[in-house]
Amino acid sequence: MAGRRVHFPRLARDERGVTAIEFAIVAPVLLAMLMFLFDTGYYLYANAVLAGEMNAAGRASTLETATDEQRDTLDQHVSDAVKKLVPNGELHFQRTAYIDYGRAQAKAEAFKDENGNGVCDAGESFDDANRNHVRDLDSGISGGGGAKDVTVYTATLRYDRIFPIASFMGWGKDVTMSSTTLLRNQPFDKQIEPLIGTCL
Taking only the tens place, the pLDDT of each residue in 119-155 is 888 888 888 887 888 888 888 888 888 888 888 999 9
Using DSSP's 3-state secondary structure scheme, residue 186 falls into coil
CA neighbor of 184 nearest in space, from 81, 100, 66, 117: 100
How confident is the model over 43-47, as a mean pLDDT?
95
pTM recorded for the entire structure: 0.73
170-194 pLDDT, tens digit per residue, is 778 899 999 999 888 887 777 777 7
| Total count of domains within the chain | 1
Integer Cα distance of 149 and 156 in angstroms: 22
CA neighbor of 155 nearest in space, from 99, 108, 86, 106: 86
Cβ atoms of 160 and 153 closer than 8 Å: no
The number of angstroms, rounded, from the C-alpha of 13 to the middle of its chain's C-alpha atoms is 59
Which runs of consecutive H residues, i.e. helices, occur in 62-138? 68-85, 101-106
| pLDDT, greater one: 143 or 78 | 78
85-94 pLDDT, tens digit per residue, is 999 999 999 9
Integer Cα distance of 135 and 125 in angstroms: 9
pLDDT at 33 over 90: no
How confident is the model over 35-54, as a mean pLDDT?
93
Structural domain for 147, as ranges = 2-198
Average confidence score pLDDT of the chain: 84
Integer Cα distance of 186 and 159 in angstroms: 34
